[in-house]
């Protein structure tokens, strides 16, 4: 995160940003006289004892109510006082968290400077591999981890990504209820920041979660005899958390609406086409993530796949929409051109009521219409484009192979690579839908989740409890279809889907060339290299 100063400023400005949104919104609701601002009511200007009604000269201070009147309007509204109290409580909670985080950041900064000999001003010159090498070397000299003499690269990744690996594995095994079949819309995927936060609260770090601390699963989670009792307790916690989310829904919804408005309104006005841009969805980031892949490694890989994925999604066009967009763009553009010419000829045209609104809306219509008109030089080759996407994202369902031109494939790809407008809409709906998922959909999976943590947790000396998939062991979690035939003893339940074990092993070995894999994994990698060399020679 680019050092202590950047991390500190980000947290502090997050607090300031929250204060600004709450204060500014309250000011707009209670302290502005909109009848004066919109010139619906004449304003009294007193000059030398004479009062005149002036409809043309209205300044911003004229539309601001006096402080006593503003305070009176705030006190008169019970809803505003309730929301302000809730905002104050949340802000104080965030303040305590930020102060604790700053102490942690300072410790990390001190560790980098004194233990790793990396000064703050030179931090940007070091790669992660260099930092990791210094950490491994320091362990040999100082014995920071007392339970084992040497730390490996895999141990370090396990400590950093302990909970992330569990989440990636649960998405890979389709354990979390994020797929829903809706009338008219078909199968949709819903995973938002709010739902993810609640899942982590339930499973990893909340009160009564399956983990008793940051490195150890609760002992009863490892006993098969306690599975049903534990599942009932977890299901009850899910329902209670859902009810708590339901009670907080109005506050969270108001915040989401305000934050979205302040974040995106100016961008949409300046670049209306930005809502048509795409981004990797939160579900896509978990589906496409390797085991033991750090945030910056995942971001770099998905960024390389962004342009090929955009080209693939844009290669699908609707001839009917194209015809409609061309004509709508023509009509809106014609009117807009006339208004612009009139404005250039005489700027007094801008004083006509709603003329600026008309120009802005027409510009928005033209921009949206253009987004539906494909480039006339585009060549239709979806199979090649999808292969270019696969080269970077690494994961693709088997039924996509040879079906890149089908609308079903594009629809499933859209679940991973969604419109920015869809992302904003999902986050706005999250305060309403998250409680429903927690109350009605998630409790049915409680027993499966408890079994998952019991069956796929191993204890590693010096690291603690980790997800067994993260060990990259092809013998226990390999798939025979992925060159692991004869090397794996895994049942279908134990196998990772879509070859995630094998692909994660390859990625980790390439990212950390000094890492010494265990014998079964090393044998798999050697067979893979031979196969690649044979294919290259044949080509």
173-230 confidence digits (pLDDT tens): 999 999 999 988 889 999 999 999 999 999 999 988 999 999 999 999 999 999 999 9
The model carries a pTM of 0.89
Position 318 scores a pLDDT of 80
Segment 371-377 mean pLDDT: 80
Distant-in-sequence, close-in-space partners of 82: CB < 8 Å, separation ≥ 6 = none
Domain ranges of the chain: 4-39+58-126, 153-315+381-471, 319-372
Phi, psi of 336 (to 5 degrees): -60, -40
Number of neighbouring beta carbons within 10 Å of residue 521 = 24
Listed residue (210, 203, 197, 283) closest to 248, CA to CA: 197
Segment 413-425 mean pLDDT: 94
C-alpha to C-alpha distance for 512 and 239, rounded to whole angstroms = 43
Position 44 scores a pLDDT of 63
> Among 185-194, 260-269, 326-335, 528-537, which is the least confidently predicted range?
260-269
Listed residue (175, 183, 181, 229) closest to 199, CA to CA: 175
pLDDT in tens, 55-78: 556 778 888 999 999 999 999 999
Position 479 scores a pLDDT of 85
Phi, psi of 181 (to 5 degrees): -100, 115
Position 483 scores a pLDDT of 66
Listed residue (496, 466, 460) closest to 478, CA to CA: 496
Position 60 scores a pLDDT of 82
Position 41 scores a pLDDT of 77
pLDDT at 312 over 90: yes
Helices (H), 161-278: 162-172, 193-200, 227-270
pLDDT at 377 over 90: no
Position 48 scores a pLDDT of 45
pLDDT at 114 over 90: yes
> Among 27-31, 352-356, 412-416, which is the least confidently predicted range?
352-356
Position 45 scores a pLDDT of 57
> Among 99-113, 372-386, 456-470, which is the least confidently predicted range?
372-386
Helix-, strand-, coil-residue percentages of the chain, each rounded to 5: 70, 5, 25
Segment 444-452 mean pLDDT: 96
Round the average pLDDT of the chain to a whole number and report it: 90
Q: Are 131 and 155 in contact, with CB atoms under 8 Å apart?
A: no
pLDDT category, 42, cuts 50, 70, 90?
confident
Q: Are 469 and 161 in contact, with CB atoms under 8 Å apart?
A: no
Segment 261-272 mean pLDDT: 79
């Amino acid at each position: 995160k680019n050092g202590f100063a950047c991390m500190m400023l980000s947290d502090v400005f997050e607090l300031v940003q929250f204060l600004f949104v709450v204060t500014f919104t309250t000011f707009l609701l209670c302290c502005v006289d909109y009848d004066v601002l919109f010139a619906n009511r004449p304003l009294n200007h007193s000059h030398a004892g004479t009062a005149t009604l002036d409809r043309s000269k209205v300044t911003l201070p004229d539309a601001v109510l006096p402080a006593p009147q503003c305070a009176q309007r705030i006190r008169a509204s019970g809803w505003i006082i309730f929301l302000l109290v809730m905002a104050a409580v949340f802000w104080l909670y965030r303040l305590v968290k930020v102060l604790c985080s700053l102490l942690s950041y300072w410790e990390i900064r001190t560790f980098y400077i004194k233990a790793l000999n990396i000064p703050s001003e030179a931090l940007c010159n070091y790669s992660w591999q260099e930092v990791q090498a210094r950490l491994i070397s320091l362990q040999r000299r100082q014995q920071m981890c007392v339970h084992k003499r040497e730390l490996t690269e895999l141990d370090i990744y396990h400590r950093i990504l302990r909970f992330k690996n569990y989440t990636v594995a649960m998405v890979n095994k389709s354990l979390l209820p994020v797929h829903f079949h809706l009338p008219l819309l078909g199968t949709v995927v819903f995973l938002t920041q709010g739902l993810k936060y609640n899942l982590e609260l339930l499973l990893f770090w909340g009160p009564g979660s399956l983990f008793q601390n940051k490195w150890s699963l609760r002992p009863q989670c490892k006993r098969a005899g306690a599975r049903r009792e534990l599942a009932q307790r977890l299901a009850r916690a899910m329902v209670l958390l859902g009810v708590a989310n339901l009670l907080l829904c109005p506050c969270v919804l108001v915040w989401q609406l305000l934050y979205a408005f302040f974040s995106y309104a100016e961008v949409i006005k300046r670049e209306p086409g930005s809502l048509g841009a795409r981004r990797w969805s939160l579900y896509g980031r978990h589906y496409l993530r390797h085991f033991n892949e750090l945030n910056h490694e995942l971001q770099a890989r998905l960024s390389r796949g962004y342009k090929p994925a955009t080209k693939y999604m844009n290669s699908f066009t609707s001839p009917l929409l194209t015809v409609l967009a061309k004509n709508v763009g023509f009509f809106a553009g014609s009117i807009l051109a006339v208004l612009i010419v009139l404005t250039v000829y005489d700027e007094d045209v801008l004083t006509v009521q709603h003329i600026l609104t008309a120009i802005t809306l027409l510009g928005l219509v033209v921009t949206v219409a253009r987004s539906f008109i494909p480039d006339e030089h585009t060549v239709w080759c979806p199979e090649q484009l999808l292969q270019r996407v696969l080269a970077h994202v690494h994961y693709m369902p088997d039924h996509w192979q040879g079906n890149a031109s089908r609308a079903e494939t594009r629809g499933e790809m859209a679940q991973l690579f969604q419109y920015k407008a869809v992302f904003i809409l999902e986050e706005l709906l999250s305060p309403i839908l998250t409680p429903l998922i927690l109350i009605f959909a998630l409790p049915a999976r409680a027993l499966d989740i408890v079994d998952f943590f019991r069956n796929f947790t191993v204890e590693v000396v010096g690291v603690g409890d980790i997800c067994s998939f993260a060990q990259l062991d092809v013998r226990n979690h390999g798939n025979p279809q992925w060159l692991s035939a004869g090397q794996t003893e895994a049942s279908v339940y134990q196998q990772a889907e879509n070859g995630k074990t094998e692909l994660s092993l390859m990625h980790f070995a390439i990212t950390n060339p000094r890492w010494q894999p265990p014998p079964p994994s090393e044998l798999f990698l050697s067979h893979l290299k031979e196969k690649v060399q044979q294919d290259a020679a044949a080509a």
